[in-house]
A and B are shown apart, each in its own frame.
Chain A
Amino acid sequence: MFSVVRTIWYVLLHMFHKRITVQYPDEKPYLAPRYRGRIILSRDPDGGERCVACYLCAAACPVDCIALQATEDPTGRRYPEFFRINFSRCIFCGFCEEACPTYAIQLTPDFEMGEYQRPNLVYEKEDLLINGPGKYPGYNFWRVCGVQIGGKDKGEAENEGPPVDIHSLLP
């Protein structure tokens, strides 16, 4: 008897609470910036591809869903010839982002990736690359590394002196 009364009491109480159901998809939920959703490849502030094809994300990935092939452009810049993420396997753990030394691969607060065909969940580089630096606006790996690439010669990186003339005796 008492339990029935208590149940009715709680039902009455909840009728006056604020509703937590969201009317998705008309209404979108708030997701924190660090939410681990769809993976993207970002670009550096100069607009170049950030990924240097170091394979660290592929090594870190526990379900082995990242595949890529390194190559270099004629100026010596290393980049991925292809970069493929199989989202039907990805568990959105964020290990790849953690492993990436160049902030290229990032997880974004976007989870709307449903597909009717499983092959459509395999994203190629064109699908992954976005037109901006993502969460890390200022960083450009090629500005700090010692390798020369197109538009940046030896000695033009941050904290780097002009190259040595080995035919002179003075530094």
Chain B
Amino acid sequence: MPDVTLTINGQAVTAAPGTLIIEAARRHGIEIPAFCYYEGYSLQAACRMCLVEIEKNPKLQPGCTMPVAEGMVVLTESPKVVETRKAMLEFLLSNHPLDCPVCDKGGECELQDMSFRYGAGESRFTELKVHGEEQQWSPVVYYDPARCILCYRCVRVCDEGLGVTALGTQNRGVISEIIPNAGDHLVCDECGMCIDICPVGALTSGTYRYKSRPWEMNHVGTICAHCSDGCKTTLAVRDGEILRGNNRDRSGINGEFLCIKGRYAFDFVRHPERLQSPLLRVNGELQPVSWSEALSAAAAKFNEVKARGGRFGVIGATRTTNEENYFLQKFARQGLGTANIDHRRSGDVVTLLDALSGRANALATVEDLYTAKAALVIGSDLAQQHPLFAFQLRANWRHHQLTAYVVTPGPVREDLYAARAIRSEAGKELEAAASLRDDLAKSQDLVILFGDAIKGDAVRRLVEFGDSLGIPVKYLCLVDYANSRGAMDMGLLPDLGPGYQPTQTRGLNWREMLADPALDVLWVVGEDPLEETALASANAFVVVQDLFLTETAKRADVVFPSASAYEKTGTVTNSAGQVQRLKQAAKVMGVKPDLDIMGLLAKEMGLNLGIWIPDKVFEEIRRTVRGYNVALPVIATGGAAQTGAADGRIPVTVPPELIRSAGDTLFTSGTLGRYSGMLRSVMEAPGTLYKP
């Protein structure tokens, strides 16, 4: 159908047929105020703020439900409209307290803005105001019904957006209220989407409540430190302290979606047990020492072991930046001359990239999840382990009728809308997926998301299966943490260097390192391998860089306090291979970014490993790592750049037992999660995977 042309406030506007007046106006820079209308969710027309005058139409019409028509003449700010809006505001405020001085929304409240714009602060009503009791629904969500204007945005985002359906409405008219699903409290994802989407201060959050004002804080757009979905979170910082997280500007790959971890679990930054000084083992006890003392102790040992040709083991992390991982492997391979470097893997990206070698467009991005015609999820409780991907698929289903298929060991939330959901035992996922062949082949295209259930040879068989469908298939290998993917890309692998280039010698993997009785030095950067496996070598000198005194750090001889992802700059790569940039938000006394620690250690040892400034290291990564030659302006402006696939075969076999996902739920996040008071305080925590 051809586009229609209409006039809004005298301006000629073209829009696709079926576009709503409010959207057509917005796209041409004309604002029509609305409280209940929210792009992407069902239409409500409850607040009546968007009434507009349409020529030859006797009554004002709501712009949020009225589609455009050819030749329509719309006035959005005519005297009649302004007068009506003011009257509508008077109705909305008939029971509203206008407590702006003590209301957390003050300064960024849509109702406050409109009351100012249309001058409706004074009311002609003489009736008493009807107010309900303020309620705390969970550690995250507070509700003050007096301020609620019943726009149902919260109800819709929870129901339609997340599929949780934790909120509803009770009663009618002046006494209607929003109510939580468990009577007087919430049992939900605790994502805080409802709080952010609320146009007024009716829903407030437990972390930010009564703390600050929007104009008092600096807003720093960085990347969530938790799972591998790579959500952009905008942290509001005051005096070096993070006060809240959200993404109201809808930038980044996640729009405004964030789960509880991205929105609230930043409090580990100021956890009282945070290490803030280097520790050195003196007479069997870890004692705080100065940086120079700790650095020289570690460097002296490294040099000594290197000189006598001793055995090093280096274990990197899945939360440190690409720059740090790259520098670490360079340090290990060039500086220490060892091939024993590894990290804990949670998905078989290596085999996937090998199986897909030579193909363009076979790796799915986060955007693809929203545009694909069909999706197959294998072996992951997506809504719990990869909340953003689950949200994208759900939005795709709502907006573009995605056909979803699920093959999991237990019930998952995607079952609610999946065309077919199959339960399969561990190890039988591929056979179960094969039974969907006829259904899948009917679709125009397909995205396959798989977790650690498919690894090693199974990945190759999955790709063969995808090829046999005869439709374009894209793959997404799900991994655990913020930079799990980057750790592999940067070559924290015993047999592969940066960009999956095979190395000359194959080193020990991390399990072998821990089991090696002759290991001289174990260097662990931001990881806690000793929580599950004991260290065989009793005399090993252990150097740990971490935020907290983990099990591994307790065994260490030197501990360096490192900065978390929210306290440094650098880049991280999400599950889908999209690189994004971290920006420093918080400041913590006494810690240094891992890159600085490694750089200083190299200097102390007299090594020349190049400059250790994140931007410079990233330049080197762009030059040398396959697929990382991404456009700098994209990531510098807070966007996500897709890394290219490693073209060319990767001649290694991956031992499947090394690949294991930690199985985090919505409310856990490895070590970091243990140190987040917010995550631990919600009653759903830690939760279990695969619950209906």
Contact = CB atoms under 8 A, between A and B. Distances in A.
Given A52-B101, A101-B100, A164-B145, A147 B212 contact: no
A86 interface: no
A161 B171 contact: no
Nearest to B210: A72
Interface in A64-91: 70-72, 76, 78
B210 A78 contact: yes
Contact of B102 (A147, A160, A171): A147
Interface stretch (A18-26, A53-61, A116-124): A53-61
A160 B132 CA distance: 11
B213 A159 contact: no
Contacts of B145: 164
B685 interface: no
A136 to B, nearest CB: 15
Interface string B77-100: 000000000000000000011011
Interface stretch (B172-180, B278-286, B543-551, B576-584): B172-180
Contacts of B128: 159-161
Contact of A59 (B100, B101, B144, B215): B215
Contact of A72 (B100, B146, B209): B209
A154 B213 contact: no
Contact of B129 (A55, A58, A141, A159): A159
Given A146-B147, A166-B132, A58 B99 contact: no
B101 A102 contact: yes
B631 interface: no
B213 A164 contact: no
A109 B83 CA distance: 44
B97 A59 contact: no
B133 interface: yes
A95 B93 CA distance: 28
**Which residue among A78, A146, A157, A166 has the maximum number of chain B CB atoms within 10 Å of its CB?**
A146
B685 to A, nearest CB: 25
Contact of B131 (A53, A58, A146): A146
Contacts of B127: 161
Given A76-B134, A159-B128, A54 B146 contact: no
A164 B211 contact: no
Contacts of A169: 171
B216 A78 contact: no
B177 A160 contact: no
Give the secondary structure class of A's interface: loop
Nearest to A149: B102
Contacts of A102: 101
Given A145-B97, A155-B131, A164-B130, A55 B175 contact: no
Interface in B199-233: 209-213, 215-216
B106 interface: yes
Nearest to A165: B175
A2 to B, nearest CB: 65
Contact of A163 (B96, B132, B171, B216): B132
B210 A146 contact: no
A71 B210 contact: yes
Contacts of A147: 97, 99, 102, 134, 144
B42 interface: no
A160 B99 contact: no
A145 B102 CA distance: 9
Contacts of A53: 210
Contacts of B101: 52, 54, 56, 101-102, 141, 145
A148 interface: yes
A139 B50 CA distance: 37
Contacts of B671: none
Contacts of B132: 154, 163-164, 166
A157 B146 CA distance: 12
A154 B131 contact: yes
Contacts of A141: 101
A52 B133 contact: no
B170 interface: yes
A146 B175 contact: no
B213 A54 contact: yes
B133 A171 contact: no
A146 B106 contact: no
Contacts of B170: 166
Interface string B434-450: 00000000000000000
A148 B212 contact: no
A166 B171 contact: yes
Contact of B175 (A52, A56, A59, A171): A171
A102 B106 CA distance: 14
Nearest to A76: B134
B210 A161 contact: no
B102 A161 contact: no
A102 B100 CA distance: 11
B216 A58 contact: yes
A160 B128 CA distance: 5
A59 B134 contact: no
Contact of A171 (B96, B130, B134, B212): B130
A166 B175 contact: yes
A78 B209 CA distance: 10
Interface string B111-154: 00000000000000001111111100000000011110000000
Given A101-B101, A166-B175, A171-B173, A160 B216 contact: no
Contact of A164 (B131, B209, B212): B131
Given A78-B210, A146-B131, 19 more contacts: A52-B102, A55-B213, A70-B210, A72-B209, A101-B100, A145-B97, A145-B101, A146-B96, A147-B99, A147-B102, A154-B146, A157-B97, A160-B131, A161-B127, A163-B131, A163-B132, A164-B132, A164-B171, A166-B132
18 contacts: A54-B101, A55-B216, A56-B101, A59-B215, A59-B216, A71-B210, A78-B210, A145-B99, A146-B97, A146-B99, A147-B144, A148-B133, A154-B134, A161-B130, A166-B170, A169-B171, A171-B173, A171-B174
**3 tightest CB-CB pairs across the interface, nearest first?**
A146-B97, A161-B128, A54-B101
Interface of B: 96-97, 99-102, 106, 127-134, 144-147, 170-171, 173-175, 177, 179, 209-213, 215-216
Interface of A: 52-56, 58-59, 70-72, 76, 78, 101-102, 141, 145-148, 154-155, 157, 159-161, 163-164, 166, 169, 171
